[in-house]
């Protein structure tokens, strides 16, 4: 699958995320038929508008049950807030764009985009963090009517379009969150 529009890329990534999420939750060691079906069904639904990525409510609920800890390392010392979409790239000061981050992760990340930062560390982002990022990206592009735009014509965006994952590692290499969830 090689997406040609912004919307196709984001939907493809989101459908893969749902597939990976199901596989990790089931402790599968590799992707199987049922996971590919989840991906196919969601991709089709997103394309034809019968399904959507869901509100951020579920992610907000997750935030409530998570301990107050760094979203990147799980540390609890010297916490501050970080923006998933950087504020100097147009990321907003809203709850869905803000996560806890420790001083150490904050300074390591610097002004880099979240996905670029994970890439430089050779890590794939935790799925629930990536889910929020993709939802923000889809909702931003919906609002700006950018989903149908060819990738080559993408304007400046508050997220890293080039770093949106098109393929996902095997389930065993993925985590839902930076620390195990209770």
d(CA 146, CA 151): 10
Nearer to Zn ion, 77 or 88 (CB): 77
Could you tell me the two tokens for 60? 């907000």
d(CA 160, CA 124): 14
Nearer to Zn ion, 12 or 100 (CB): 100
Residue the block writes with tokens 């985590």 = 175
How far apart are CB 99 and Zn ion at their closest, in Å?
A: 10
Q: 3-state class of 14 per DSSP?
A: helix
How far apart are CB 181 and Zn ion at their closest, in Å?
A: 17
Q: 3-state class of 127 per DSSP?
A: helix
Nearer to Zn ion, 13 or 71 (CB): 71
Is 102 a residue that touches Zn ion (CB under 5 A)? yes
CA of 122: how far to CAs of 116, 117, 166, in Å?
10, 9, 16
Is 129 a residue that touches Zn ion (CB under 5 A)? no
How far apart are CB 26 and Zn ion at their closest, in Å?
A: 29
Q: Pick from 105, 115, 130, 174 the residue near Zn ion by CB under 5 A.
A: 105
Nearer to Zn ion, 102 or 115 (CB): 102
For 46, other C-beta atoms within 10 Å of its C-beta total 22
How far apart are CB 177 and Zn ion at their closest, in Å?
A: 13
d(CA 55, CA 75): 28
For Zn ion, what does the binding mask look like between residues 61 and 80, x meaning CB under 5 A? ---------x-xx-x-----
How far apart are CB 68 and Zn ion at their closest, in Å?
A: 12
Query: What proportions of the chain, in percent to the nearest 5, are helix, strand and coil?
Result: 50, 5, 45
Nearer to Zn ion, 61 or 76 (CB): 76
Is 117 a residue that touches Zn ion (CB under 5 A)? no
Which stretch of DSSP H or E encloses residue 79? strand 79-83
Q: Footprint of Zn ion on this chain (CB under 5 A)?
A: 70, 72-73, 75, 102, 105
């Amino acid at each position: 699958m090689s997406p040609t529009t912004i919307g196709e890329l984001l939907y493809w990534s989101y459908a893969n995320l749902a597939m990976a999420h199901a596989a990790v939750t089931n402790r599968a060691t590799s992707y199987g038929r049922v996971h590919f079906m989840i991906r196919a069904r969601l991709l089709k639904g997103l394309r034809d508008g019968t399904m959507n990525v869901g509100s951020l409510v579920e992610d907000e609920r997750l935030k409530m049950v998570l301990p107050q800890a760094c979203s990147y390392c799980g540390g609890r010392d010297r916490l501050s807030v970080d923006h998933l979409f950087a504020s100097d790239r147009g990321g907003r000061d809203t709850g869905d764009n803000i996560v806890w981050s420790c001083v150490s992760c904050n300074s390591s990340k610097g002004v880099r985009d979240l996905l670029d930062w994970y890439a430089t560390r050779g890590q794939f982002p935790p799925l629930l963090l990536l889910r929020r990022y993709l939802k923000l990206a889809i909702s931003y592009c919906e609002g700006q009517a950018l989903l149908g735009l060819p990738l080559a014509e993408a304007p400046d965006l508050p997220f890293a379009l080039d770093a949106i994952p098109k393929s996902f590692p095997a389930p065993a290499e993925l985590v839902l969150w930076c620390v195990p969830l209770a």
